[in-house]
Amino acid sequence: MLLRWRGAGEEGAPIDFYRGERIGKYEVVTQLSVGGMAELFLGFTSGPGGFRKYVVVKRILPDVRDNEQFERMFLDEARITAAFNHPNIAQVFDLGQEDDGLYLAMEFIAGQNLNQITGACLRRKQQVPLGFTLSVVRDVCMALHYAHTFTAPSGEPSPVIHRDVAQKNVMVTYDGVVKLLDFGIAKAKGSLERTHAGTVKGTTGYMSPEQVRGEKLDGRSDLFSVGVMMHEMLTGARLFAGSTERDEMMKILEAPIPWPSHVAPHVPEQVGRVVMQALERSREKRFSNGRDMARAIEAAASSLIQDADHRASMMRELFAERMAATRALLESAEGTASSHMVDTAKRALRSDDGPYLPVREDTATPKNGNEPVPGKKPSRRVATVKKSQAPTPEDAEALTSAQRTRSNVLWGVVLLAILAGGGYGALRLSSALDSTVEPIPEVQLYDSRLAVFPEDGGTVVAGKKPPEVVKETAPRKEPVDDGPKTERTGTSRPGRATGKLSLNVKGQSAPIYLGKQKLGTMPLLGVELPAGKHTLRILDPQGEKRSLVVVIVAGETTRLNFESWQDL
């Protein structure tokens, strides 16, 4: 947290620079935090008869007030959540504008988020209680169901997809009430802010597979994120942790997901079944809505679920110091707390949240070949894939232990056959070996399964292939004119020689067709085609149809990489 001071008060205690400042009709008690785009304040509004209502005021920072994209997101957040009325969703009361820019007045929630709660439990070397986790996740599911099925006052369905469900955005008040926060990047019908084609927003370790791929989302995407959160709270370890954001995104797409009961034996099998259904990579296999998932949790372990009183008791035990600090800040607005009390309260509230969930040793990404990555804070919203983070040839050579064992056994048999003079038998066994052991995949410095983010005013991008790598590893092959253009289907016939095609225009996403068959979406990686010449049709983002002649050589991969559409 960043605090500014303007002098010294009682007995040399610092005075909060913002105290007494007015933002619209709200008087500031203190600044709570500063992020990359906005700052938060504790404030209040007064009325007749000693009326006072405390709020959190969110104000856009001066250096981003000219950022139209962020301003649209800010307005969307206000418009979307101001219409909500659900006990488990933090409310927005007011939207205003003054010389200092736009501001939101939101519900002041005296409590802690799930990262802080799990951190407090880790400091005590104890597990988050099972009943606490089940009750929190159930309430989050009901809050999401309300958002996913929201109907505007006009009666028009206006579903809202949160897109950033994670521990940091779920709070539990000191009274035991669960609150879902931060619809700042939510997607709703009629949103002012439009996500650019190929961009992905969210917290990388908690995205759904379809979110990672940049596909259209529905409410089931949020339920996958709930499943990740639930798995981590039950097992006490990160589920999709990696040394880079790209690693985390790839694990979401491919990494095996262990049953919670196999990692944490205290988790009932029925509860584990709920988690695994939420974590189905095919959205059609997940719960159809948040209410169904909430009911499944209750059916699996209704007797274990804590009520609000039990949650409040746990919060008092874990956060007695922070509860006292919150009271001191509120009393300071009444003028009944000393400067030293307020200063002590601020230090307590901005103290470290403690350790984040550790990484399970069986899935830890090695730093230097043998050292597991320790628990770390979940990745920021928009992931970055740098050249240094791309897979290396050493990574590609890492076969699983089962594959290595199978390979060693079979090659041992081959060696014995050779030593025995059975050359013919050795050749037969060698062929069997080649068909049994999976080949080492060709190393790619980017992956078609990750969404490609176009650069837009400095926007951080993920899944992007570094320009210098294109020049070094994928030299452009000029098409060879060896006859009239023909269109063939991309399905190779049995016995017909084939090759592979990789095609990309830097930073672009576009569908690619061969005849009437869609080969995929750019970037195209290693798509198998019959050897020979083909004419591809590409529909660029502006709707312009483009043709490209490619020559596929049998047994080879033709790589075509262009800097822009003009080079195509």
- The pTM of this model reads 0.63
pLDDT of residue 377: 54
Of the pLDDT bands very low, low, confident and very high (cuts 50, 70, 90), residue 440 is very low
pLDDT of residue 318: 93
Of the pLDDT bands very low, low, confident and very high (cuts 50, 70, 90), residue 363 is low
Residue 533 pairs in a beta bridge with 551
The pLDDT mean for the chain works out to 74
Asked whether residue 7 carries a pLDDT value surpassing 80, the answer given is no
Does the fold of domain 467-567 match that of domain 1-108? no
Please state, in angstroms and rounded to a whole number, the distance separating the CA atoms of residues 379 and 238: 12
Task: Name which residue leads in pLDDT, 484 or 307.
Answer: 307
State the CB neighbour count (10 A cutoff) for residue 19. 17
Phi, psi of 138 (to 5 degrees): -60, -45
Please, are residues 162 and 147 in contact by the beta-carbon 8 Å criterion? yes
Q: Where are the domains of the chain?
A: 1-108, 111-318+360-382, 398-436, 467-567
CA dihedral 504, 506, 509, 511 (to 10 degrees): -30
Asked whether residue 31 carries a pLDDT value surpassing 90, the answer given is no
Mean pLDDT, residues 387-396 taken together? 37
Asked whether residue 12 carries a pLDDT value surpassing 50, the answer given is no
Task: Name which residue leads in pLDDT, 459 or 229.
Answer: 229
Mean pLDDT, residues 311-330 taken together? 90
Mean pLDDT, residues 141-167 taken together? 90
What is the architecture, at CATH level 2, of domain 1-108?
2-Layer Sandwich (3.30)
Mean pLDDT, residues 504-528 taken together? 82
pLDDT of residue 38: 79
pLDDT of residue 136: 97
pLDDT of residue 185: 55
Of the pLDDT bands very low, low, confident and very high (cuts 50, 70, 90), residue 385 is very low
Alpha helices in 170-289 (DSSP H): 209-212, 219-235, 245-254, 260-263, 269-278
CA angle 306-312-317, nearest 5°? 110
CATH of domain 111-318+360-382: 1.10.510.10
pLDDT of residue 437: 40
State the CB neighbour count (10 A cutoff) for residue 337. 17
pLDDT of residue 454: 41
Task: Name which residue leads in pLDDT, 14 or 272.
Answer: 272
Of the pLDDT bands very low, low, confident and very high (cuts 50, 70, 90), residue 361 is low
Mean pLDDT, residues 530-548 taken together? 84
Asked whether residue 351 carries a pLDDT value surpassing 60, the answer given is no
Burial pattern 29-52, b for ≥16 Cβ within 10 A else e, equals bbbbeeeebbbbbbbbbeeeeeee
pLDDT of residue 399: 34
DSSP string, 269-316: HHHHHHHHHHT-SSGGGS-SSHHHHHHHHHHHHGGG---HHHHHHHHH
Of the pLDDT bands very low, low, confident and very high (cuts 50, 70, 90), residue 292 is very high
Q: Which CATH number fits domain 467-567: 3.30.70, 2.40.50, 3.30.450, 2.60.40?
A: 2.60.40
pLDDT tens readout for residues 55-92: 999 888 877 777 777 777 778 777 777 888 899 999 88
